Amino acid sequence: YLPYIFFSLPVTISSTAEKVVYLVVFHLSFVMFVWSYWKTIFTSPASPSNEFCLSKADKEQYEKEERPESQQEILRRAAKDLPIYTTTASRAIRYCDRCQLIKPDRCHHCSACDICVLKMDHHCPWVNNCVGFSNYKFFLLFLMYSLLYCLFVAATVLQYFIKFWTNELPDTHAKFHVLFLFFVAAMFFISILSLFSYHCWLVGKNRSTIETFRAPTFRNGPDKNGFSLGCSKNLREVFGDEKKYWLLPIFTSLGDGCNFPTRLVIMDPEQLTVSSQNEPAKSSGANQSFPTRPLSESQNRLLASDSQWVESGPEEENVKSGAKKHIIVSLES
C-alpha cells in the first residue's frame, strides 16, 4: 500500500530524493521481514539426537517394568553418560513416553508437533511452528523487523493521516488507504512491541517462556537463573559470536541444543565445589547421577577465559558467622 499511496496522493513529497529514500527503506525492511518470517516458519524444530534414545534392550526392559522405581533405575543407568543436569520436581529423569527418549536439558514435548523440541520456547500458531533452539533467533528477528516495518509505515503515513482529520487532504480514493494503513500499522506496532520486549527480557535472562512459568530443577532444587551466564553471554548464546551476522536470519546460535553451560547455586557452604572436567560424576537426591562432561567448542568460546567466577549470594547475610554462600559458574554442560 505504501508505494501506491505515495504516488496516488496529490500532495507531493518534498523531493524526489525523499521518495527514493522512502521506497528503499520500505522495501529493505519488507524483505528482511519476509525473510525472517519465512525462516521461522520453514525451519524444522530440532529434536534430540539418537544418543538420548534408549537401546532396544533398555526399552524392552522399561516397558516390562511396572514399578516407577525400577523404571527410573533403568533411565538413570542409560543416562549416566549423557550431559543431563535437570530433572523433574520429584528428582526423576525426564523421559518422554511418546518419543521414547530421555529429554535433554530444556527439551520439551510439543503436543501440536508431536515431537520433542530442543530448548523449546513455545508453539506459535502465527507461524504454525514450534519456536525453539533451531529457529529462536529467526523468531526474534521476525519480531524486530515486523516492529520496524510497522513503525516506518505508521511514521510515513502520519502526516497524511493528520491532514485527513483536518480536512486538508484532497478528496481522492487514497483517503481510505491512509486511514486503514495508519490504524493497522499502529495497532500491530503496539502489540508486537510488547511481545518483542518480553522476548528481549527472556534473552537477557537466558530463559525460555516455559522456564519462566516453571523453573528448571537442578541438583539443588529449582533455579530460574540456572542457565544465565550474564546478559552479554546470554545474548551471544542466541545470536553467536560474530556480530556481523546478528541482524541476518541465518543460524549462528552457539551449542548443539542438548548441552548448555549452567550456573549452579550451591546452598551449603560445606559442599562448596567447583566442578572440573576430570571430576567424577556427582549424585544428589534419590541417587540421581549428574555426570561431568567436557564443554563443546562453542561453549568454551561462550565462557571464554572467565569460565569460573564467584559472586556473593543474596543469602549471605543469613548465613552463620564464617560461612559464605556463593554462586558458581559450573563447567558442566
Single-letter residue type at 210? I
Cα gap 52→133, rounded to integer Å: 17
Q: How far is CA 227 from CA 105, 130, 132, 324, 331, in A?
A: 10, 21, 15, 22, 12
Number of other residues whose CB lies within 10 A of the CB of residue 151: 17
Q: Does an H or E element contain 123, and which?
A: strand 122-124
Q: Which three cell numbers stand for residue 214?
A: 516453571
Q: Please, where are the H alpha helices in the chain? A: 2-8, 16-42, 56-64, 68-78, 136-165, 174-205, 209-213, 231-239, 297-303
In whole angstroms, give the CA distance from residue 226 to residue 232.
16
Coil, strand, or helix at residue 223? coil
> Which cell goes with 143?
519480531
64, 76 in Cβ contact below 8 A?
A: no
Looking at the chain, the number of H-run helices and the number of E-run strands are 9, 13
Residues near 47 by beta carbon (within 8 Å), at least 6 away in sequence:
99, 115, 116, 117, 118
Report the alpha-carbon distance of residue 157 to residue 150 in Å, rounded. 11
Return the C-alpha cell found at 146.
515486523
Letter for the amino acid at 266?
Answer: I
Active-site residues: which are they?
124
Question: Which helix (H) or strand (E) covers residue 284, if one does?
Answer: strand 282-284
Which of helix, strand or coil describes residue 88? coil
